[in-house]
Amino acid sequence: MNNLFTQNEKLFYIDIKDGVIFEGKFIEKNGNGIWIRLNGDALNTYVYSDLVEERVFNDYGLASEGLETIKKNLKARLLKDNAFIKDLTAKLKKSEGNLYATIIEGILHEKTNT
C-alpha cells in the first residue's frame, strides 16, 4: 500500500462507478485501507488497501493514466465470453422482463458480431 501520503495531502481518487477523477485530501491510514475526503463531499471515503494503488494518486496525470487502464481492463473483461451482454441481460430481465431482455440481447449480439 502507498504510504507516501501525509495528513491533508492533496490526492486524486478514481471513482469507478462514474469513471471520473475527484480531487481530495488524505485523512489517515486505518486498518486495511485509508480514509480520504473528496472535495465538495461531506462524507469521508474509505479505500481498501488492495485498491489504493489503482485508485488513489498524488498526481492528476497518473490518475488519468490509471483511469484509462481501468477502462481498458474493464472493456477486455466485459468483451470476454460476452460477459457484458450477459450482465446487461440479467439486469434487464430483473427490471424489464424476459421478453424485453431477450430482444435487447439479440440486438447486442448482432451489433457485436458484425
SS3 20: strand
Per-position b or e across 23-38, b if 16+ CB within 10 A of its CB: ebbbbebeeebbebbb
The string of pLDDT tens digits covering residues 75-108 is 888 778 777 788 888 999 999 999 998 898 888 8
Query: Looking at the predicted structure, is the pLDDT value of residue 1 above 50?
Result: no
Question: Model-level pTM?
Answer: 0.73
What is the rounded distance in angstroms from the CA atom of residue 17 to the CA atom of residue 40?
18
What is the rounded distance in angstroms from the CA atom of residue 31 to the CA atom of residue 50?
12
> What mean pLDDT is predicted for residues 33-39?
95
